[in-house]
């Protein structure tokens, strides 16, 4: 009986790497691993209350480093999906709801994660001169030129939209997105590629607001 249980457990562990494939994306590898682990949990392979394989086992199954696995688990712990206790292991605590998704990015890495899971469909663009309240909101001198982009952000599967986005790009880097109608990466990543420089600060505001009938 114990031998059979061990064989079943090992089969489940070996299967954890099924369908795993590193993607050619801007998302860091640990976030790709986190997405894979979360999807396997959502599929019921590891129900709430069960233990995941060890970090070493996961690293071997997925062909990544233990540090990558540790970062992925840390991401899911932050989301409340997993808990970890020394001497016990990593336990599944919750499953992501399919009815609602919440994206709040607190860092470059989390912005990568949002961009990897969504598409920003740009439906309007114009050159604007920041004046009055807009200049104050953007923290710039009046008269500074920007490329103003607006559009809807969708899950990559193009299900129901979950946000309306408004972006202001300094006119000096506007050409970074001149040929982009659907942004499948973070906007700042296009700017980094265009300028060859790394962006260190990304101010953003996420808020609930009433939209006009036209936007709705």
pLDDT, tens only, 95-136: 765 444 444 444 556 666 666 678 889 999 999 999 988 887
**Domains of the chain, start order:** 2-92 (1.10.10.10), 108-195 (no CATH)
DSSP structure class, residue 50: P
Per-residue confidence (pLDDT) for residue 163, from 0 to 100: 82
* Close Cβ partners of 214 (under 8 Å, ≥ 6 residues apart): none
Q: What is the mean pLDDT of residues 63-78?
A: 89
Non-local (6+) Cβ contacts of 134 within 8 A are 128
Which ranges of the chain would DSSP assign to H, the alpha helix? 2-14, 29-42, 55-62, 66-78, 108-117, 132-138, 187-195
Spatial distance between the Cα atoms of 114 and 120, rounded to a whole number of angstroms: 10
- Looking at the predicted structure, is the pLDDT value of residue 156 above 80? no
In this prediction, residue 171 has a pLDDT band, given cuts at 50, 70 and 90, of: very high
pLDDT bracket for residue 184 (50, 70, 90) = confident
Regarding beta strands 118-129 and 89-92, do their DSSP bridges make them parallel or antiparallel, or are they unpaired?
unpaired
């Amino acid at each position: 009986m114990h031998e059979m249980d061990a064989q079943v457990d090992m089969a489940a562990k070996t299967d954890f790497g099924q369908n795993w494939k590193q993607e050619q994306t801007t998302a860091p590898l640990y976030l790709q691993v986190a997405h894979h682990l979360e999807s396997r949990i959502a599929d019921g392979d590891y129900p709430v209350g069960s233990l995941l394989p060890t970090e070493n086992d996961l690293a071997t199954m997925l062909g990544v480093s233990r540090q990558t696995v540790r970062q992925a688990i840390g991401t899911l712990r932050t989301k409340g999906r997993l808990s970890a206790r020394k001497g016990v292991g990593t336990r599944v605590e919750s499953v992501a709801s399919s009815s609602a998704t919440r994206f709040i990015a607190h860092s470059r890495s989390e912005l990568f994660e949002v961009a990897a899971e969504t598409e920003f469909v740009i439906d309007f663009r114009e050159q604007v001169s920041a004046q009055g309240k807009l200049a104050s909101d953007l923290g710039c001198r009046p008269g500074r030129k920007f490329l103003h982009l607006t559009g809807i952000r969708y899950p990559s599967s193009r299900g129901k939209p979950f946000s309306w986005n408004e972006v202001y790009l300094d006119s000096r880097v506007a050409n970074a997105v001149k040929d982009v109608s659907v942004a499948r990466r973070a906007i700042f990543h296009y700017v980094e590629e265009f300028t060859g420089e790394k962006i260190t600060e990304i101010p953003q505001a996420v808020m609930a607001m009433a939209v006009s009938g036209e936007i709705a």
